[in-house]
Chain A
Amino acid sequence: MEKILGKKSLPQWIRKLSSYKIYAPAKEGELWNFKVIDRPESVELDFSQTALSPKKIIFPQREVLLEFNSNENEVEVRQILSDEKPSVIFGVRPCDARALTLTDKVFGGDFEDPYYWKRRKATALVGLACTPPPSENCFCLSVDGSPYSKDGLDILMTDLGDRYFLESLTEKGNELIKAGRELFQEPKASDKKEAEKIWAESAKKIKRQVKELKKIPAKLKGMFESPFWDEESLSCIRCGICTYLCPTCHCFDINDEIVSSSPLKGERVRTWDNCQFPDFTMHSSGHNPRPDRASRLRQRIFHKFQYFVERYQNFQCTGCGRCVSKCPVRIDIIEVLDKVRDYGS
């Protein structure tokens, strides 16, 4: 389904979606981030890139899995599954939506993670094509993406100046459009052509790329023991920015948070975890198989461009560029990959 929506009608459409919890990018100081929207008229989709991707909504940094409560004879355990109403996230960038399709593979398959899927299925993603690319470090074209990719989205919107060109891509998307049906117009043939022209121009503006990325997975296989990682990680300060800001990183930890020890009462909580932290691989024996920054940088690159490719036939990176823009010491994943490709030749 293709539609046209006047920009001025966007708040009205959002108002029609009152049965949903609405998220959209909002500016705080200099930063954009997804926030729950109470006032539809405050939504303006003229943001660049959100500091955190919508991963934070679907896979929250903290999530209670179960509660436990003991009395003298027994322990009562109660599973906690989110019972929030369905959500719509407006302004999802195509790379961030593609990232969720990759995380779907991890939390799907033989064992479906009920916590993840409950939110994932109850959330509709309304994307906004990147016209122009929102960051100087965008490199989606190198990792099989594009500024107008539809993967993972329910609707893709393209900004045509005074109006949006919308493409509904799923049943969820159709429902959202139906809810505000009188606000939309049928597109003219020229509208789609205009959108396509804008897409093509935007793709040309993406400056950064990794050439011949397809060669990387095989190349990495022979580089596990290479001194390359020591050299590349010299300036790494071992913070967790690259990983926590990444829309595809999904590692987590599970801890019991005790509210009372007698009688025993508390919650079992899942939180994001980070392969760049020293305790990530710490064994209870005292042995740490990844004891230094070199082995941790190697893990990040191997996971995204070797292990994940072998297992799921996709790179585990969608080229959003956040890790490049925000690294405190400018370790640049694009440069690292370029060096890997050319290493030893």
Chain B
Amino acid sequence: MVNLEELKSEAKRILKEGKVKYIIGYARDTNGLLPKPVFIKKEEEADKLIWDPTCVYNLTRFIADEKRKMAREKKPDQRPVGLVIKGCDSRALVVLLQEKFINRGDVHLIGVSCENTGVIDERKLQKKLKGKKVEKIEFGEKENFIITTPEGKIEIPASEILAERCLECKANFPVVSDVLFGEKSKRKAESPFKSLEKIESLSAEERWAFWKAELDKCIRCYACRSVCPMCYCDECVVDTINFAVTADTTAEEKAQKIKWLEKSPVASENFIYHMVRAIHLAGRCIDCGECERVCPLDIPLRFLNKYLEKQAKELFGYEPGFDPEQPSLVASFKDEDPQDFIR
């Protein structure tokens, strides 16, 4: 089991010794069930840190912000950022290493184990508790969660309230870390692509109807992109911020800047947005499921990314986010790679 006091002491130690510039972790929020991402700069603030099954966020996402900030500073602090990291987040971090977006020395990884379970799905839990207030949620010893309510403690088997992505998890403790808390245990997950069975059983027409209905709901808030640790491009096709304008740029050139898609949230444009994102994540997505969690309209985005994850595995035997030395899928090839799709 992760000993939280030990984790806090380690955080205090590295802050005190100046080993890291700050630590990104989880802290209890004053309101609601889920915690908040926190940025801890001072030793005394490290007591805020928590680790429990409500820590759903993929904090690796914030590394891109730090990198951008450093690029703007004249004399950036070169020390690493401390990062509390669970299994799936660590795989995302490995992808960033594989793509050379960051160096290993940019981060100091405080690994935490999901203790043979994972993180919760907030809605599943609330349904289960039928309005009971949650005071505390802990990892149990027997692949379960122990939930403290004002009326007492309840034990719930993890599989009943786990986030969907955790049911298909491939790494429930960090694959890379500088210090690791908790057990290096491996839960036997369901088949890694079980959730796809539902969508794969549909005919092409049914699939089209399914996606049309789902993507029609999209309001293009781009939360799926914004929360994604892999969506670190400086300029995304959906917002054009880096068009180089000089004194010689004419009005026509400005007006004729390529627009990849319209702002209108209609089926054709929504499809382009989601397809571009899915294709860009092929062989990179490690299924942290954050895109689907944050979608305010409940679009089942994991299906898209999961499907391409399966393609990468089946066609190229590729699984991203395990080995920092392995080149990324799209930046490498093997002689035996299938070529029958090239015509």
Contact = CB atoms under 8 A, between A and B. Distances in A.
Interface of A: 28-31, 51-52, 61-62, 136-137, 208, 234-235, 237-241, 243-245, 253, 255, 257, 269, 271-274, 277-279, 282, 284-286, 288, 324, 326, 328-330, 332, 334-335
Q: Is the interface of A mostly helix, strand, loop or mixed?
A: loop
**B30, B217, B226, B243 — most chain A CB neighbours (10 Å):** B226
B265 interface: yes
B192 interface: no
Contacts of A328: 57, 223, 226-227, 290, 293-294
B62 A255 contact: no
B221 A31 contact: no
Interface centre among A31, A234, A271, A329 (most CB of B within 10 A): A329
Given A244-B296, A274-B221, 8 more contacts: A61-B219, A243-B221, A273-B263, A279-B239, A328-B57, A330-B35, A334-B31, A335-B31
A284 B254 contact: yes
B193 interface: no
Contacts of A324: 31
B310 interface: no
A297 to B, nearest CB: 14
Contact of B29 (A31, A238, A330): A330
Contacts of A244: 219, 221, 296
A271 B263 contact: yes
A284 B57 CA distance: 36
B241 interface: yes
Q: Which of B37, B57, B245, B290 has the most CB of A within 10 A?
A: B37
B222 A277 contact: yes
Given A61-B265, A240-B222, A332-B31, A326 B296 contact: yes
Given A271-B264, A329-B36, A335 B30 contact: yes
Nearest to A207: B31
B222 A278 contact: no
B245 A286 contact: yes
Contacts of A240: 219-223
Contacts of B29: 330, 332
15 contacts: A30-B123, A137-B32, A208-B31, A235-B36, A237-B227, A241-B223, A269-B263, A282-B241, A284-B245, A324-B31, A328-B226, A329-B36, A330-B29, A330-B34, A335-B30
A315 B102 CA distance: 44
Contacts of A332: 29, 31
Contacts of A288: 241
A137 B29 CA distance: 14
Given A51-B296, A239-B226, A255-B262, A278 B241 contact: yes
B34 A279 contact: no
B39 A234 contact: yes
B254 to A, nearest CB: 5
B241 A257 contact: no
A243 B30 CA distance: 23
A30 B57 CA distance: 22
The 7 closest A-B pairs by CB, nearest first: A239-B223, A240-B221, A239-B226, A328-B294, A279-B239, A237-B226, A235-B37
B71 interface: no
A248 to B, nearest CB: 16
B129 interface: no
Nearest to B34: A330
A62 B254 CA distance: 24
A62 B34 contact: no
Q: A28, A51, A328, A335: which has the most chain B beta carbons within 10 Å?
A: A328
B298 A31 contact: yes
A241 B123 contact: no
A239 B221 contact: yes
Interface in B319-343: none
Contacts of B239: 277-279
